[in-house]
A and B are shown apart, each in its own frame.
Chain A
Amino acid sequence: MSLFRVMAIAGRIIRQFVRDRRTMALLFLAPLLVMTILQIVLTSSNGSVTLALVPPPGPIGANLTQVIKAPDSIKLKVITADQAEPGLKNGDYDGVLTFPDYFLARLQQGQSPTLRLRLEGSNPGAAKQLTSLVKVLVATIAVPQSGGQSASVTPTVTTSYLYGGPEYTTTDALAPLFVGLFSFFFVFLLTSVAFLRERSQGTIERLLVAPVTRTELVLGYVFGFTVFALAQSAVILLYVIFALRVHYAGNPFVIFLVTAALTIGGVNLGIFISAFARNELQIVQFIPLVIVPQVLLGGLFFPVKTLPVVLFQLANIMPITYANVALQGVMLKGFGVGDILGDLIFLVGFALLMVLLAAFSLRQEKV
């Protein structure tokens, strides 16, 4: 293998696209436009929210879920104190409301007990809903004093966050999803069109006749397009952090890793898919098949765990689902490589599978 040839191919792809002003503009400006619009449009996220309750000992603990009236959008669940933190980390619920052991005793003494609300925090919509629910809840618990005094005692609530804080907004939560989506899909589209052109203008014949191996060809394409995908991610991140003032806790290097794995998958998926298209229009026809399901099911619009079984299974084999989890982890929760290892392994596995498919479709080239 010759690095010179790989770099010649990568350099050529970069040159071609830099010359293509409109595509460049699309690549860098379209994501910014979409994100800006979404920030304006979105106020809070929907979907169902789960609140876990750690009841005080004694009789009220048992029928706490009946006593508390929550709107339909909020599910209640009773757990024990030691389940609280692991469950939150695991994403089993969006918040935990803990009643102290002395809850009843304090109330009866006419003192105000303190409830602890711990929020998961990476879904700002859910956090907001839970905060206001707990506020209402606390007001209804108010117990009139036995002494006949008019004053009633209201429990107080202290709120803490596993990730982020009250300042996190929905756009904060969405920003990581966009970094993944845009780098994957633009790279997929650009590669499939670039490779299609290679076929339609006949240059693929020259490449196949030249002393270039399939590995060099695939690597050249991967390098060329990874440069664009990373530049695009950088622009999106900078815009989102400095212009949209999104909160951000991550390490850029880990984001780079995730984006790179995703890009390699996208480039090779593009090479593979382009074998089934005869012109640009037919590439566009692959968008509903390859792109739309991932946008809809990958966690951007609906939380993956709330999907119906069939769609949930589908979401579980889509790279974007894993990239979303990983990027949200890194950007919102400050996760390192170790925390997203599972997702990263899936993405690398997906990339390798796509490399194999692309290499296979290049082999078919020599009819």
Chain B
Amino acid sequence: MSSSAHSDVAPIVVSDVVKRFDKVTALDHVSLSVLRGETFGLIGPNGSGKTTLIRMLLGLGRPTSGNISVLGRKMPSRQVASRIGYMTQSSALYNELSIRENLAFFGTLYGLRGRRLKERIAATLSLVELAARADSPIQTLSGGMRQRVSLGCALIHEPELIFLDEPTVGIDPELRLAFWEYFAQLNQRGVTLVVSTHHLDEAARCNRLGLLRFGRLLAADSPDALRARSGQQDFEQAFLYFAQQAETAEAGEPTPAAEKEA
């Protein structure tokens, strides 16, 4: 149950979602909502369910139980696909094609044509600082450059809701900073972002954070509130605090995700 005071419908509402693979429970009764224009961070150890949650939100798989609504539609839905951008955890690109060709391909799939497509390609190339290498095939690029192209492909069609699965892996500190500044600009334009990350300094930049562990959402709150609630200055310590809390509560009823207004 969300007690959001916002007037418009939240772009993402997840209610009591469970996702089970053969043996693993990747998501365990997760409920949360993401608000318009915010950056919602997902942090948690490897295998905690971040990618699984993002894939469910994109309709790339059906939850075992529970409901997901994205941009006012029950997922999976093709109607909202063109308003969403997705950057996969590993840079998923066509290696034989150049940067420009990759951008053009995904741009065309999202309905960009002619001059508009050219403009967007140019803007995206300068955003990811790869204009000089535009015609190099992906297989000749460094790992960080590929990651940048991958981000570019998620942004080319100017989506209003963007999922970024560990977008800054392998990206140098300077460009990482530039990315987060760009994310803040997008927020100001009303664009909503869901970002998973292992960098705690990046987590601190999110409007709100979801802490995932073994598929359970331990807490979802603003970074300051999480620090205050745990009484810890350091995120790592705060994370451990919530993990311990969850473990002590294990015997009792499974705690639904704590959702509090900042």
Name A residues whose Cβ lies closer than 8 Å to a Cβ of B: 2, 4-5, 8-9, 12, 15-16, 19-20, 201-203, 205-213, 366-367
When chains A and B are docked, how far (Å) is the Cα of A19 from the Cα of B96? 7
Q: Which residues of A contact B95 (CB under 8 A)?
A: 201
In the complex, are the beta carbons of B96 and A211 less than 8 A apart?
A: no
Please tell me if the beta carbons of B106 and A206 are within 8 angstroms of each other in the complex: yes
CB 8 Å contact bits of B101-128 with A (1 = contact, 0 = none): 1000110111101000000000000000
A206 touches B110 (CB 8 A): no
Q: Is the CB of A12 within 8 A of B92?
A: no
Most chain B C-beta atoms within 10 Å of own C-beta, residue among A2, A4, A12, A212: A12
Q: 18 more A-B contacts (CB under 8 A) besides A12-B101, A367-B60? A: A5-B108, A8-B105, A8-B108, A8-B109, A12-B97, A12-B105, A15-B96, A16-B96, A19-B97, A202-B92, A205-B88, A206-B106, A209-B81, A211-B78, A211-B81, A211-B110, A213-B78, A366-B60
Query: Do B60 and A210 touch across chains, with their CB atoms under 8 A apart?
Result: no
> Would you call A206 and B81 a contact (CB within 8 A)?
no
Give the interface SS of chain B, mostly helix, strand, loop or mixed.
loop
Please judge, given known A-B contacts A203-B92, A205-B88, whether A4 and B61 are in contact too, CB under 8 Å: no
CB-based contact B61/A366 at 8 Å: yes
Are B94 and A209 closer than 8 Å at their CB atoms?
no
The CA-CA distance from A213 to B101 in the complex, in Å, is 21
In the complex, the answer to whether B86 meets A203 with C-beta atoms within 8 Å is no
B84 within 8 A of A: yes
Residues of chain A within 8 A (CB-CB) of B109 are 5, 8-9, 207, 210-212
Contact assessment for B94 and A12 in the assembled complex, using a CB-CB cutoff below 8 Å: yes
Q: How far is the CB of B187 from chain A (nearest CB, A)?
A: 22
Question: Can you spell out 6 A-B residue pairs with CB atoms less than 8 angstroms apart?
Answer: A5-B109, A12-B94, A201-B92, A203-B93, A206-B86, A206-B92
Residue of A nearest to B89 (CB): A202
Within 8 A of A (CB), among B66-102: 76, 78, 81-82, 84, 86, 88, 90-97, 101
- Report the 3 A-B pairs with minimum CB-CB distance, sorted nearest first: A202-B92, A8-B108, A211-B81
Report A-chain residues with C-beta under 8 Å of the C-beta of B101: 12, 15
Assembly CA distance A201 to B78 (angstroms): 23
**B59 at interface by CB-CB < 8 Å:** yes
In angstroms, Cα B213 to Cα A290, docked, is 46
Tell me the B46-63 residues at the A interface (CB within 8 Å): 55, 58-62
In the complex the two chains form, is A206's CB within 8 Å of B153's CB? yes
Q: How many residues of B contact A (CB 8 A)?
A: 31
Residues from chain B with Cβ under 8 Å of A5 in the complex: 108-109
Given the known interface contacts A209-B58, A210-B81, A366-B59, the answer about A16 and B106 at a Cβ–Cβ threshold of 8 Å is no
Given A202-B92, A205-B92, A206-B86, are A367 and B61 neighbors across the interface (CB < 8 Å)? yes
| Nearest CB of chain B from residue A237's CB, rounded to whole Å | 29
A212 CB → nearest B CB, Å: 6
- Residues of A near B153 (CB, < 8 A) are 206
- Residues on B with beta carbons closer than 8 Å to the beta carbon of A4: 108, 111, 113
Which chain A residue shows the least CB distance to B138? A201
| Complex CA distance for A84 and B87, rounded to whole angstroms | 71
Q: Is there a chain A Cβ closer than 8 Å to B11's Cβ?
A: no
CB distance from A208 to the nearest CB of B (A): 6
CB–CB B61/A15 < 8 A: no
Check: B256 CB closer than 8 A to any chain A CB.
no
Q: Does B137 contact A (CB under 8 A)?
A: yes
Complex CA–CA separation, A12 to B93 (angstroms): 12
Q: How far is the CA of A68 from the CA of B76 in the complex (A)?
A: 77
Q: What CA separation (Å) do A207 and B61 show in the bound complex?
A: 14
